[in-house]
Structure 1
Amino acid sequence: MKIKKATYPLVLAVLSLNLYSCDNNVKSDKNKSVFKDYSKVVQGSVNYYNNGKMQIILDLEKNIKLSDNEEGTLINYNKKENSYLREKTENNSKNLILGNENTENVIDDWKDIKDVKLSPSGNKVFYSKEIKENNVTLGIFDSSNKKFKELKSNTLISGNNYGWLDNDSIIYYGVKAESKLNGIFLYNTKTNNEKLLLDIKKGAIEYISIEGNKIIYLTSDFDGNKLLNSFDIDNSKVQVLTTEVQNINDIIVLEDKIFILGKKKDGLSSLYLLSDGKLKKLVYDFPKNIDLEKGIEKDLEGNILFIGYDDSSSKEDVYELVSVDGTVKIKSKKTGQYSFIETN
């Protein structure tokens, strides 16, 4: 499934001050786990679940499948590096699997794997593991040395407001434990150095997305006012994009257009287009419901895809917002439960 969710300014974890490795938590036994061929997966491919079977559908319109029965959910596929992340349930436990350099690395000690982020080069995974309720540890697994390490920081990271900038740098929003400094930070995984990029003096950040050299983020002040902003990492400039967004589940940036799955101020949750400072609703009553937790994706033609249903979430379809004329149509050929495969 595509792990993109709405976030809230709730601080979940203190990252450990200690740096350690957990070699015994990672397995790369080729006899136990065989490297998968996902080379046919493209933008717009999806996971499809129905009647107890999981399939990967490569082309929704032609209903072309990769196989009839997959053993797990494909989360992310990096075509350039031929690496992937998938999730497999075994003995009532969720396993996170990183496939890289023709080897599968099975991380099987954690029952609750959240918000996994595959690095641009496809050899590292940044993720959180829950220790206790509302208490998680964030760290990185590196397939080159088969080791997991926690971040060396005392920053309280809020929700899943983090992601890779490049293969050695992570960006996140949080609060310093001692100084109470509130902002967006850059962390170098090689040197373990942390740098403040942007000081948030009022309120908190509810959503963050890294788009090239820019960070799109939604702030909320103490009076409940919301601002959607863009921060340019290269020149440290902040641009206010709109005051009309109430919350965000997912976004896609295409040149000067931002597609937002979320809620407009004084409005309902839907798919919106932000262009030239104006927010336009794109989806009304077709379908009746949008599955907000599944996010949005784009296909090879640049159309925006989302998942919705009329009466039951067990009978979902994939819908397409056509880029040429803005019409909405059903792209899938059968109902069931869908999730997007993130590709890069």
Structure 2
Amino acid sequence: MNVLTKTTFFITFFIAILSFTACGSKEEKLPEVNNLPHYSQVTAIENKDSTADVFKIENNALYNIGNIEKIIDMVYSVKNSAYIYSVSVGSGQNLDSNKLVIVKDKKRKELKDFYSAVDLKINSLGDKIVFRTFSKDAKESAEGLKIYDINNKKYINMNSKVLVSGNLYQWIDENKIIYYGSIEGQKNSTKIYLYNFSSNKEEVYLDNMNGYCMYFTPIDKDILFLASQEDKFKLYYYDSKDKKSRVVAENIEEIYRSAVDVKNGHIFLFAEGSGGSIELYQFSTESLQLERITYDFPKQIDTLSGMGLDEEGNVYFSGMQNEDNKDKKDIFMYNNKERSINLISSHEGKYSVYSSDKS
């Protein structure tokens, strides 16, 4: 092979390698979403047969702003143009199968490398979500937490041996999550841990839980948590500055959902008291007092239908006046200034309520 032939061969080979590399690193082209509703801080979704009507909630009323495919759950960030829907793809004997539809900057991406994904939570930047998955139609097929980077379209690995307990995990800022769990085979390892995705490091966040943690929600760097010990339930507030936990209530036996108003130092809870009824409660980080808000209006709160919080600290939720028909629900608002419960929907429906993550 002469010099000219060798040179031609290597140039051709080099160009082929470059072409192959360029093709291999080609960015995935995502379909565009052109009919995305203009979501507000608080949103109501009314599921129908195959689609869902979308309502923005403003000025004590619901306004129809479009429709989307029928959904199971949703998390979103209006400021960061990120919307994640859980969409059903079938029903199993033990679990429903679903996929996740991610709409970011009007581009649609689907995640379906699992049988079921539940308990979606989005960070304050709207660029990462965390959820837990099941590989098949069995609760024993739980795969643990998955963290997905929306901008880079890939999963993020966690260097952790902690087995997270159910849905006890929350974002504490844009790059950190806290979660309750234990390390298999390691004694006294049941704690709340923090994972930092910037440094890929894990540390203990709250060591002593005073029993088994049933529920927790962070507010800034502090934590409100419910613990059980010897069939007794206590609600604690952990102050991260002095690293002390204080008992704030002993009449709460279960917490179903919460919404955090950092600006006013309030945490709102759907909780079951010792009397057995599920009501809306308000906790103040200033007074460390827990106050019951609802009594007999509405007659029943739908804990599965979400809770919304607007910029003024008003709370929105779904409830029923007729307890015999679970599909006929209304939207109610707790007016924080007037301290009153108001019916704001114009008709009954299969409503769920969501609010945008505020960054």
State the TM-score, normalizing by the size of structure 1.
Answer: 0.82
Taking a change above 3 Å as real, the CA distance of residues 267 and 124 of structure 1, as seen in their structure-2 partners, is same
Q: Any idea what SS the aligned residue of 1:293 has?
A: helix
Matches within 5 A, 1:152-163: 152-163=159-170
Work out whether 1:336 is the aligned partner of 2:349. Answer: yes
Aligned counterparts of 2:198 and 2:289: Cα–Cα separation in 1: 41
Matches within 5 A, 1:17-166: 29-31=29-31, 34=33, 37-38=36-37, 40-59=38-57, 61-67=60-66, 69-73=67-71, 75-90=74-89, 94-131=98-135, 132-134=138-140, 135-166=142-173
Q: Which amino acid aligns with 1:217?
A: F
> Aligned residue for 1:309?
320
Task: Identify the range of structure 1 (189-198 vs 279-288) with the bigger mean alpha-carbon deviation.
Answer: 279-288
Aligned counterparts of 1:91 and 1:175: Cα–Cα separation in 2: 33
Number of aligned residue pairs = 314
Structure with the higher helix share, 1 or 2: 2
> Aligned residue for 1:288?
299
Aligned counterparts of 1:84 and 1:274: Cα–Cα separation in 2: 29
Aligned counterparts of 2:166 and 2:267: Cα–Cα separation in 1: 23
Taking a change above 3 Å as real, the CA distance of residues 274 and 91 of structure 1, as seen in their structure-2 partners, is closer
Aligned counterparts of 1:28 and 1:310: Cα–Cα separation in 2: 49
Taking a change above 3 Å as real, the CA distance of residues 300 and 167 of structure 1, as seen in their structure-2 partners, is closer
% identity of equivalent residues? 25
Aligned counterparts of 1:35 and 1:205: Cα–Cα separation in 2: 44
The Cα of 1:54 is off from its aligned counterpart by 0.5
State the TM-score, normalizing by the size of structure 2.
Answer: 0.79
Q: Which amino acid aligns with 2:125?
A: S
2:75–2:120 CA contact under 8 A, matched in 1: no
Q: Which amino acid aligns with 1:291?
A: D
> Aligned residue for 1:246?
253
1:115–1:127 CA contact under 8 A, matched in 2: yes
Q: Any idea what SS the aligned residue of 1:191 has?
A: coil
For structure 2, the 5+ residue unaligned runs are 1-26, 92-96
For structure 1, the 5+ residue unaligned runs are 1-26
Matches within 5 A, 1:260-275: 260-275=269-284
Q: Which amino acid aligns with 2:36?
A: D
Aligned counterparts of 1:107 and 1:281: Cα–Cα separation in 2: 40
Aligned counterparts of 1:279 and 1:234: Cα–Cα separation in 2: 21
User: Residues 234-293 of structure 1: CA distance to partner in whole angstroms, max 9, x if unpaired?
Assistant: 543323322222111122344344332111234422112345454443222222211122
Aligned counterparts of 1:283 and 1:337: Cα–Cα separation in 2: 21
Aligned counterparts of 1:172 and 1:256: Cα–Cα separation in 2: 22
The Cα of 1:143 is off from its aligned counterpart by 2.5
Q: Which amino acid aligns with 1:203?
A: G
Q: Any idea what SS the aligned residue of 2:69 has?
A: coil
Taking a change above 3 Å as real, the CA distance of residues 333 and 157 of structure 1, as seen in their structure-2 partners, is same
Taking a change above 3 Å as real, the CA distance of residues 280 and 188 of structure 1, as seen in their structure-2 partners, is closer
Structure with larger RCO (C-alpha < 8 A, sep 6+): 1
Aligned counterparts of 1:62 and 1:305: Cα–Cα separation in 2: 11
User: Residues 307-339 of structure 1: CA distance to partner in whole angstroms, max 9, x if unpaired?
Assistant: 111221111001112223322221111111111
The Cα of 1:85 is off from its aligned counterpart by 1.1
Q: Which amino acid aligns with 1:321?
A: Y
Aligned counterparts of 1:106 and 1:226: Cα–Cα separation in 2: 41
Q: Any idea what SS the aligned residue of 2:85 has?
A: strand
The Cα of 1:300 is off from its aligned counterpart by 4.2
Work out whether 1:203 is the aligned partner of 2:181. Answer: no
The Cα of 1:46 is off from its aligned counterpart by 1.0
For the pair shown, the structure with the greater C-alpha radius of gyration is 2
1:117–1:163 CA contact under 8 A, matched in 2: yes
Task: Identify the range of structure 1 (123-132 vs 293-302) with the bigger mean alpha-carbon deviation.
Answer: 293-302
User: Residues 43-99 of structure 1: CA distance to partner in whole angstroms, max 9, x if unpaired?
Assistant: 2221112354301101375442121x3124371221221112122345775221222
Work out whether 1:326 is the aligned partner of 2:339. Answer: yes
